[in-house]
Structure 1
Amino acid sequence: MCNRRRERGVSLIETLIAMALGLLVLTGVLQLMNQLVDGNTATIKVARLEQDTRTVMDIIIQDLRRAGSFPEAVRDLGDPQRFLQDQPPAPRIDGEALKSGQPGSSISYAYRESDGKLTQGKFSLDGKAGSIQMHTGTASASETITDPTFIEFTALSFLPHLSKSQSGRLDQAQIAIEVRLVARLKSDPTVERQLLDRVVLRNPVLK
């Protein structure tokens, strides 16, 4: 006698179990994708924090390097009195004359363009807004050079180092400024970066 093969379909319970397993797998995949997206977003934010902080530092360093420069500097090197007469005002930190090893949170400086025009500049920290302010030329107001909606700057400091010598009967000081920046993400204050750099002014200060 031939055995009849009994054919059986998939039961409702088996279908529900398969659907549940499929949903679990899909949930796991979605969670993994969300983690990857969050990780990429965090990486992009950190990269931008570092890039923006470096850009601000470069702006400060490049402009400070010109402090005290003037077209007649080379011609006047052999004549300290003329050098003293032609040189722009010396930089000041927090409105005070530079003192070696005494830091401050703002710096003002001046230099002359190739046509002899005097340009004055200033960098400072707006602690309330967490932004860096730059004031140059004849502008009546300072300009914010950072994005306070994305990055909060918590510290800006200028530390002068003066190497003094004699030039005839005049005192000569070669000035180096150490600049320190501390910034953090506005959306995540635990992500913070600190940057240090140093600039030597082109010309010594005579007095």
Structure 2
Amino acid sequence: MLRMKRQAGFTLIELMIALLLGLIVTAIAISMYVSTLGITRQTVTSVRLSQEMRTVMDMMVRDIRRSGYWAGGSLTGNPHAAVVSGGLPVNVFTSPKSSDSDSCVVLSYDYDADGAATIEHLMGYRMDDAQGAVEVLWASSSTLTGDVDCSVLPSNWQNLTDNSTTVITQLLFQRLPSAASFASAAARSIRITLRGESSSDDRLVKELIEEVRVRNDI
């Protein structure tokens, strides 16, 4: 007589253990995936913050460095040399929209190098605490003939930074002591401090500091 073979299988306990191990492995895999996504998102946010702040800083450095430039035939009669309040081509003021002192800079230079004996271009950068942004103003005007400061400039300032991605928390301009140089000229420098954070993650903070020499100071 043929004997029936007993079929061997998993017991209930073995199935439960296998299921538990499977769930643990799945949970570890999901956790690693979520962690990788978080690191990637944080990296992208950090890069975006750095790029936006660096772009803004480079723009301010470029314009401040060129303050007072005039393509005219001589240094005498330079309309940009003393247009800003204080008799300077560039000067530092307090922004009317910031609680910090020295949070605005105003300057003038012959941006299109046409050498005309008029004020070709006035511009300014300032801090806006309420919006958490750097504001910029390019004011092509020949009506503002002198003694211009941050409050005299027109009101059509525009946000230079996007506060939906980057919140600027500090913008400071510091005039550094002048140093004598060749030909009896004075080399004026301005230190810029720009500090900001990501609008989506306030743990991501960036600070940039640049010292700019005004090349056309006389």
**Do Structure 1 and Structure 2 share a fold, with TM-score over 0.5?**
yes
Structure 1 segments unaligned to the other structure (5+ residues): 78-82, 96-102
Query: For 1:118, which of 117, 120, 128 is the aligned residue?
Result: 120
Number of paired residues?
187
> Which structure carries more strand by proportion?
1
Match of 2:74 in 1: 76
SS of alignment partner, residue 161 of structure 2:
coil
Match of 1:92 in 2: 91
- Which residues in structure 2 correspond to 1:1-207 (within 5 Å)? 6-72=6-72, 75-77=73-75, 83=76, 85-88=77-80, 89=83, 90=88, 91-94=90-93, 104-112=102-110, 113-115=112-114, 116=116, 118-138=120-140, 141-163=156-178, 173-205=186-218
**For 1:197 and 1:135, how far apart are their aligned partners in 2?**
21
CA deviations 1:164-190 (Å, max 9, x no partner) are: 66999xx95432111110111112223
**For 1:133 and 1:87, how far apart are their aligned partners in 2?**
25
The alpha carbon displacement at 1:201 in A equals: 1.6
Identical counterparts, % of pairs = 25
**For 1:204 and 1:178, how far apart are their aligned partners in 2?**
16
> After the TM superposition, which segments of 4 or more aligned residues of structure 1 sit over 6 Å from their partners?
none
CA contact (8 A) 1:162 1:173 kept: no
**For 2:216 and 2:55, how far apart are their aligned partners in 1?**
25
**For 1:36 and 1:111, how far apart are their aligned partners in 2?**
49
**C-alpha distance 167-20 of structure 1, shift in aligned 2 (>3 A):** closer
**For 1:197 and 1:51, how far apart are their aligned partners in 2?**
15
Structure 2 segments unaligned to the other structure (5+ residues): 95-100, 141-153
* TM-score (norm. length: structure 2): 0.75
SS of alignment partner, residue 58 of structure 1:
helix
**For 2:161 and 2:194, how far apart are their aligned partners in 1?**
12
CA contact (8 A) 2:71 2:113 kept: yes
**C-alpha distance 30-111 of structure 1, shift in aligned 2 (>3 A):** same
CA contact (8 A) 2:181 2:187 kept: no
Q: Which amino acid aligns with 2:191?
A: E
* TM-score (norm. length: structure 1): 0.79
**For 1:191 and 1:32, how far apart are their aligned partners in 2?**
22
Q: Which amino acid aligns with 2:135?
A: Q
The alpha carbon displacement at 1:124 in A equals: 0.2
CA contact (8 A) 1:71 1:114 kept: yes
**For 1:66 and 1:142, how far apart are their aligned partners in 2?**
21
CA deviations 1:104-147 (Å, max 9, x no partner) are: 11011111231236100000011111100010133861121111
Q: How big is the alpha-carbon RMSD for the aligned residues of Structure 1 and Structure 2?
A: 2.7
SS of alignment partner, residue 54 of structure 1:
helix
